[in-house]
């Protein structure tokens, strides 16, 4: 089982939630400062942002290996769209790392969203 932090279309009530709905929801979570979101059209991309002071809000889930493979496919990991990385979350979930997806392409012309992606 793997802990995964999601911040966009995989969240409850969002378009791709069905891919994670059968897994275990742990609770609302947040990254520490140093991450932010950008609009990529119908979904957000999270990137490292050294000047950020807010972090990103989302949800923490525990997923099985099959689900993790489906998430990697959705996020385009093999194509280099996103990279799955381990990060430390803000308390109360700072006790162990969680996997999340960071956007890898150029953000030129993309709208910054800040700490939260709203549906």
Q: Can 75 be counted among the known catalytic residues? A: yes
| Number of other CB atoms surrounding residue 59 within 10 Å | 19
Q: Are the beta carbons of 64 and 12 closer than 8 angstroms?
A: no
Which residues make Cβ contacts (< 8 Å) with residue 41, sequence separation at least 6? none
Q: Are the beta carbons of 44 and 115 closer than 8 angstroms?
A: no
Q: Which residue out of 75, 79, 99, 116 is catalytically annotated? A: 75
Active-site positions read: 75
């Amino acid at each position: 089982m793997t802990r995964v932090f999601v911040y966009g279309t995989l969240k409850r009530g969002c378009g791709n939630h069905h891919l994670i709905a059968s897994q275990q929801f742990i609770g609302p979570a947040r990254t520490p400062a140093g991450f932010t979101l950008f609009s990529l059209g119908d979904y957000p991309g999270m990137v490292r942002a050294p000047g950020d002071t807010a972090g990103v809000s989302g949800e923490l889930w525990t997923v099985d290996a099959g689900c993790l493979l489906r998430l990697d496919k959705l996020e385009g990991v093999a194509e280099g769209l996103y990279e799955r990385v381990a990060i430390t979350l803000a308390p109360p979930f700072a006790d162990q790392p969680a996997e999340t997806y960071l956007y890898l392409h150029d953000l030129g012309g993309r709208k910054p969203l800040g700490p939260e992606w709203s549906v």
